[in-house]
Amino acid sequence: MSANHIQLITDSTAYLSVSRLRELGIISLPIVAEANGRYFMYDQQTDEHLDLLREMELSRARISIVGPSPDDFRAVFHRTLYRTNKMLVILSSSYLSPVMRNARIAARDFMGRCDITILDSRTISVGLGLLVARAGEMLQEGIYSLPDVVKQIRGMIPRIYVVMISHTLDYVYRSGKLSATQAILGSMLKIHPYLLVEDGDITPLEKSRKPEKALDKLVEFASEFTRFQKLVIFQSGAEPTEEALMLKSRLEQLRPNREFPIIAYDPILASHIGPEGVGMVIYEGVWH
């Protein structure tokens, strides 16, 4: 590899296939979640996050994101140094897990030895995957400087939207998005919160008494886009739920001839919305 090579590094919430990661030369660090004393590793090759979602459903376990740890990042930075001293690290939103903080802690040990640029994607899942893939494409072309790549990625971030609904309040409360009073009252009234990732953090926007009303909010949000480059539905579990299929059907009525893939959401999203949620990632794209 040339001295000018820049190694791209991300975490496994970036929704990309193993072949795509390999094709673009991207290093992806697995997310590790802890629940009831068990550890679940999530990467592009395993489906342990499905076991985690089942565990959450059965026991309402509290979820902690414990990896990648600072030591995990140090190990990757150290190995990368044998090939290049330039790294671009694009990670899931710093507001949703300790992953970004852990990377920054690790990077301090390499100051003066290499150039590590750490970028907060302010998003997650498919949104992060889109950013990382674009950065990988630009770096592979070999004609863009690191500032060019960072500028392009930062320009894409405000065009990525994540909206979701949750059918349980305990995880939304534990993640600090609801007060104790709101959570108790919401549980009594069987509220289904409608949430948006805004500036990297999850914000409750509205609370519906009926799940179908909450679903209406997702469809309404999608209908506000005259056009978009990508829309992916995320839900809990490998097999599409009835609710996810209903959302897909309504989106297809709204935008015929468009593809709306359904995927299982990752442990970081699960730690905030619990095992009974559904949502969408929309990339508006850049239009000329």
DSSP H helices, 123-203, are: 126-141, 146-156, 170-174, 180-188
**How far from chain centre, in Å, is Cα 209?**
27
Confirm whether pTM is higher than 0.75: yes
Q: Which residue has the higher pLDDT, 117 or 172?
A: 117
Percent helix, strand and coil across the chain, each to the nearest 5: 40, 25, 35
Round to whole Å and give the CA distance between 92 and 5. Answer: 23
Q: Which CATH number fits domain 7-156: 3.40.50.1820, 3.50.50.60, 3.30.70.1450, 3.40.50.10170?
A: 3.40.50.10170
Measured distance CA(219)–CA(279) in Å, rounded: 10
Which residues are CB-contacts of 124 (< 8 A; sequence separation ≥ 6)? Answer: 13, 92, 93, 96, 162, 197, 266, 268, 269
Collapsing DSSP states into helix, strand and coil, what is residue 252? helix
- Asked whether the beta carbons of 65 and 112 are under 8 A apart, the reply is no
Strands 115-120 and 86-91: parallel
68 preceded by a cis bond (ω within 30 of 0): yes
Ranking 36-40, 48-52, 229-233 by mean pLDDT, the lowest is 48-52
Which one is predicted more confidently, 50 or 37? 37
List C-alpha distances in Å: 31 to 71, 124, 137, 265, 272: 13, 12, 24, 13, 15
Given this model, what pLDDT does residue 2 score?
46
Domain ranges of the chain: 7-156, 159-283
pLDDT tens readout for residues 224-283: 998 899 999 999 888 899 999 999 999 999 999 899 999 999 999 999 888 889 999 999
- 50 pLDDT tier (thresholds 50, 70, 90): confident
Enter the CATH code of domain 159-283: 3.30.1180.10
Min mean pLDDT across 25-29, 189-193, 244-248 is at 189-193
